[in-house]
Amino acid sequence: HTPSGLALLFHGCQNSGADWFRKPEEVRFLTAVLGRGLALLAVTVPRHAGNFCWPGPDAAGANGDFGFTVEHVRVAVEAVVDERLKLGMVAQADWPMPLPLPLLLVGGSSGGTFASRLPRLWGPAWTTHSSGTPGTTIRIA
């Protein structure tokens, strides 16, 4: 079955992507999202200072965590979509997915702030050019 969109989940400070599937309130939310036919992808901040908070935009002279993290998340989303196709988790008849694929950005605390910045940075859509899905457009809804 082809999902109607993708919910990209960003955790809050002191949490990880796995916590979306462990905490009762988050599990209730995810059950409702799945009931609407969306696929789920929870990500964990790739760099942190021990607190697992998502970074804000880099100030002059900063170490580049924000830009690194934005690119890391974009590449991760593309890789997951590609891997689903390679592993046959999406039937060939269902691929390419009806496009544009809605992308719902959801986050708590610093994850919500981080997610709110992505549409401006990624633009209204971005095109992947990875091996499995050349030319696939994922629209940010």
Structure-token pair, residue 122: 């990624």
pLDDT of residue 112: 93
pLDDT in tens, 44-75: 999 877 889 999 886 655 567 888 999 999 88
For CA atoms 55, 58, 61, 64, the dihedral sign is positive
More confident residue, 66 or 100: 66
pLDDT of residue 140: 41
Sheet holding 38-43: strands in order across? Answer: 38-43, 5-10, 101-107, 137-140, 125-127
Do residues 85 and 98 make contact, with C-beta atoms less than 8 angstroms apart? no
Residue-by-residue DSSP string for 113-138 = HHHHHHHHHH-SEEE--SSS-TT-EE
Among 73, 68, 48, 49, which residue's Cα sits nearest to residue 58?
Answer: 68
pLDDT in tens, 119-140: 888 775 554 333 333 334 444 4
Confidence band, pLDDT 50/70/90 cuts, at residue 29:
very high
pLDDT of residue 106: 94
Query: Residue 28 pLDDT > 50, yes or no?
Result: yes
* Backbone φ, ψ for residue 96 (5° rounding): -70, 150
The model's pTM is 0.77
* Backbone φ, ψ for residue 53 (5° rounding): -80, 145
Confidence band, pLDDT 50/70/90 cuts, at residue 101:
low
Angstrom distance (rounded) from CA 94 to CA 85:
10
pLDDT of residue 136: 40
Which region among 7-16, 23-32, 49-58, 107-116 has the lowest average model confidence (pLDDT)? 49-58
